[in-house]
Every structure is written in C-alpha cells, then in structure tokens.
C-alpha cells in the first residue's frame, strides 16, 4: 500500500545553483547528497517534513553526470522541471507486482538501489497519465 509522497524529482542543469535557489527562496536545506553512477546523476535531497509513517517528504534535485543518462536525455528534450513523483511504500516488490497485475508497465524487473540506500522501481509514464512514477521503500537507516 502506498503511504505517502516520498519525493518529487526535479531535473536541473546545475545542481549547486538549483540547491541555492531552494535554500534562498524557501529555506529548504540539503539533507543528503550522492552520486548514483548506475542512474548517471548527482543528486541532493531536500527534506520538507516528517510523515506519520516514520518517513519523510523530500524534493530530489537531479543533475545528470552524463548526457546518455535518463535524466540527461529528459533534460535535453524537456528542459528543467518536474521529472517524476515518487510514492513511499513498505513493500516495493509487492506493490509493484500488484500494480503490474493491473496492466501498468513496471520498468524494472527487480527493484534497484535508489537514494540513501532505498529500493526503487518506476512505472511507465504512458500508463500513468503522462507522469513518470517511482515507488520507493526507504532504507530504515536513513
């Protein structure tokens, strides 16, 4: 069962400038940064609030580390902006299979490692009314 909005992913050309905008404009601070080599991104997670299920909600700012990454291709085509929405779940495996059973294409056969050691998968945007959708099971150590 999906429990919350885990994060909104925002693609950007310059991570440092974008972080500074969100810090100066809204007062959001960076909670975590990392480079995900598999996905070809440098990212910053800006914590917005805690949630009742023990998780949190974030803005995830994504700068491609290479042009051929999914985010790099998306930026070249669309420019900066909202890239995806992610919903939190205690069971990314079970929920992705249940959603697949409803005819929605799940992009990964097995969940992959995401930000802060989470387990993630994506749902095809053409099956989700044009919205790239991510399912996330948070790492309890974060």
pLDDT in tens, 111-120: 999 999 999 9
- Concerning whether 60 is annotated as a catalytic residue, the answer is yes
**Residue ranges per structural domain of the chain:** 2-56+67-137
Q: Kindly name the residue from 63, 67, 84, 110 that is annotated as catalytic.
A: 84
- Concerning whether 7 is annotated as a catalytic residue, the answer is yes
Q: Kindly name the residue from 39, 63, 83, 134 that is annotated as catalytic.
A: 134
- Concerning whether 39 is annotated as a catalytic residue, the answer is no
Q: 74 vs 3, 12, 34, 66, 82, CA distance in Å?
A: 28, 10, 20, 12, 10
pLDDT at 53 over 80: no
- The backbone region for 40, taken as left when phi is positive above 0, alpha when psi lies in -120 to 50, beta otherwise, is left
Q: Kindly name the residue from 39, 43, 63, 83 that is annotated as catalytic.
A: 43
Of the candidates 138, 139, 11, the one whose C-alpha atom is nearest the C-alpha of residue 87 is 138
pLDDT score, position 26:
95
Asked whether the beta carbons of 43 and 12 are under 8 A apart, the reply is: no
Spatial separation of the C-alpha atoms in residues 139 and 31, rounded to whole Å? 15
For residue 50, name the pLDDT band (cuts at 50, 70, 90): confident
3-state secondary structure of 114: coil
pLDDT score, position 87:
96
How does pLDDT run across 85-109, given as a tens digit for each residue? 999 999 999 999 999 999 999 999 9
Fold annotation for 2-56+67-137: 2,3-Dihydroxybiphenyl 1,2-Dioxygenase; domain 1 (3.10.180)
pTM above 0.85, yes or no: yes
Count CB-CB contacts under 10 A for residue 25: 8
């Amino acid at each position: 069962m999906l429990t919350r909005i885990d994060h909104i992913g925002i693609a950007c050309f310059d991570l440092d400038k974008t972080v500074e905008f969100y810090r100066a404009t809204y007062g959001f601070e960076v909670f975590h940064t990392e480079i995900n080599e598999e996905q070809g991104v440098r990212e910053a997670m800006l914590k917005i609030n805690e949630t009742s299920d023990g998780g949190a909600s974030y803005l995830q700012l994504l700068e491609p580390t290479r042009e051929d990454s999914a985010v790099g291709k998306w930026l070249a085509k669309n420019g900066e902006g909202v890239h995806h929405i992610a919903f939190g779940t205690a069971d990314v495996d079970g929920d992705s299979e249940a959603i697949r059973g409803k005819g929605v294409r799940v992009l990964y056969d097995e969940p992959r490692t995401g930000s802060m050691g989470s387990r993630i998968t994506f749902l095809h945007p053409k099956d989700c009314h044009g919205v790239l959708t991510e399912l996330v099971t948070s790492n309890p150590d974060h």
